Chains A and B, each alone.
Chain A
Amino acid sequence: MTSHPVGLSGNLAPRQVMRATINQFDIAVWRSESGIISAWDNRCPHRGMRLSHGFVRGESLACAYHGWHYNCEGFCHYIPAHPELTPPKTVRPVIYSVIERHGLIWINPTAEARAHELPDNLIPLRTLTFECDENTALHAMSSTAQHAGESFEPGDTLSESPRIITVNTPAIANGIIIAFHQCAPHNVIAHVLVQNTLSSAAQIDVSRWLESVRRHAEANVSEYL
């Protein structure tokens, strides 16, 4: 399997936990107090509670259910109900490979995680979830521009899987990079990176542009949104 960009590094501060999905893989991603990032199968080895509901305590993740503590290598080292016990080394969730590059968190559940090479002069702007598939989201980019009478230039495809593209919306910004992560058939995440020279005002314009793209993309999905 290839590595997938599941989130922005900046959205996972020390002591935070998030949940990521890659196909059938349900993953808890967390960052320790000192900044070490880990990606584990989202099931507590004790009774199967989602570890993404857990709490970071220093360099450990504590399960929300019975408070078992797992260190950054995944080993359980503390069971509150039996404080005197040294848990066996087998009590350990499945560990996935995770790396951070270009401000993105990349996970590969079946092999060593690797990042796709992107230009260096980028800053991560935000992550948006679309309730539709990747092609509908892509198509909505040009139809949104048409609708607004703006020009829109699809740029290069930097990667097919996961799909990473550059786009230019000359009225707002050029060289926008969008990295998609399709986490379910009708659920795609778009990570947006922009040139690091872009002003705050233009960054907000890009963010709002992507929101209108989402409104277009989802127009046929729900009558209410």
Chain B
Amino acid sequence: MSFTLYNYVLSGNCYKVRLMASLLKVSYEAVSVDFHPGKAHKQEPLLKLNPAGTLPVLVTADHEILTETQAMLVWLAQQYDVDNTWWPAHNQPQITGIMQWLAFASRLSATVGELRLHTMLNKPLDAAPTRAGAIKALRELESHLTEQRIHGHPWLAGSSPTIADIACFPYTALSPDANIEHDNYPAIRSWLHAVRCLDGFITMPGIFELHTLRNPAGADASPLSDTVA
């Protein structure tokens, strides 16, 4: 196996890495961790791997341990992106732009992500400033995507998708879980749609697949049919 991912299915940060691996068509071993309610990530043996007590944790075949998702995206692209488009190391200006949005992705986790845990799992939190921070971050993203479109670039850091788009996708797409709908963010809506259309796109609970694109014959039921039948 190429690597091991300590994973929790409802975590946006874990999904980020699963999505990137799927887009790069890499297979790996996923170990599911009882994040809720078991809090296994706050106990041994997980703490030995990642003293920060967060998920996901990625362990390479050489036993290198990665605990930051943005670094995992870089590592995945360096290892498996044969065309060097997701992390175009040779293109310095583009790399600078990508770094900008990788760092921004941490703000999305700290605002939208935290508010989502508060809303869904009652994580204790001062909701008002977190919500304001989430809206501020989403507005910055909306404005940047608008400016990119004026420049003729549909993606966050250039004319093709990069790891920056994947880093920012999960918590932006999941903001309705934190009671922030996408209605007021038209450029974000179009960008989310474009990410969903990528070859190899996978979903997580809360982020739906565009069945229409994958299955135009339309024989099967709605995206939610498994969970509500």
A127 contacts the other chain (CB 8 A): yes
The answer on a CB contact under 8 Å between B132 and A224 is yes
Task: Known A66-B222, A66-B225; judge A16-B211 contact (CB<8 A).
Answer: no
B176 → chain A closest CB, angstroms: 9
Residues of B within 8 A of A200 (CB): 150-151
Task: Known A66-B228, A129-B184, A225-B132; judge A204-B147 contact (CB<8 A).
Answer: yes
The answer on a CB contact under 8 Å between B189 and A11 is yes
| Cα separation A15 to B186 with both chains bound (whole Å) | 14
Residues of B within 8 A of A11 (CB): 186-187, 189-190
Q: B139-153, CB under 8 A of A: which get 1 and which 0?
A: 100010011001100
Contact of A19 among B133, B143, B146, B183 (CB under 8 A): B183
A198 → chain B closest CB, angstroms: 10
Task: Known A7-B186, A13-B190, A16-B189; judge A57-B212 contact (CB<8 A).
Answer: yes
Contact of B146 among A207, A224, A225 (CB under 8 A): A207
B228 → chain A closest CB, angstroms: 7
| Cα separation A203 to B136 with both chains bound (whole Å) | 22
Of B52-60, B81-89, B158-166, B213-221, which binds chain A? B213-221
Q: A51-92, CB under 8 A of B: which get 1 and which 0?
A: 010011110101111110100000000101100000000000
| Cα separation A69 to B215 with both chains bound (whole Å) | 14
A23 → chain B closest CB, angstroms: 16
B224 contacts the other chain (CB 8 A): yes
> Which residue of chain B has its CB nearest to the CB of A17?
B189
> Which residue of chain B has its CB nearest to the CB of A211?
B143
Residues of B within 8 A of A62 (CB): 211-212, 218, 222
A43 → chain B closest CB, angstroms: 16
B121 contacts the other chain (CB 8 A): no
Q: Which of B113-169 contact A (CB under 8 A)?
A: 128-129, 131-133, 135-136, 139, 143, 146-147, 150-151
Residues of A within 8 A of B181 (CB): 19
Residues of A within 8 A of B218 (CB): 57-58, 60, 62, 69, 78
Among B131, B184, B186, B193, find the residue whose CB has the most chain A CB atoms closer than 10 A.
Answer: B186
B74 contacts the other chain (CB 8 A): no
Residues of A within 8 A of B210 (CB): 15, 55
Given A11-B189, A67-B223, 19 extra CB contacts under 8 A: A13-B190, A13-B193, A15-B193, A19-B183, A55-B211, A56-B212, A58-B212, A63-B222, A64-B208, A64-B222, A64-B224, A69-B218, A80-B221, A80-B222, A203-B150, A207-B143, A224-B136, A225-B135, A225-B136
Question: Residues of A at under 8 Å CB distance from B?
Answer: 7-8, 11, 13, 15-16, 18-19, 33, 52, 55-58, 60, 62-67, 69, 78, 80-81, 125-127, 129, 189, 200, 203-204, 207-208, 211, 222, 224-225
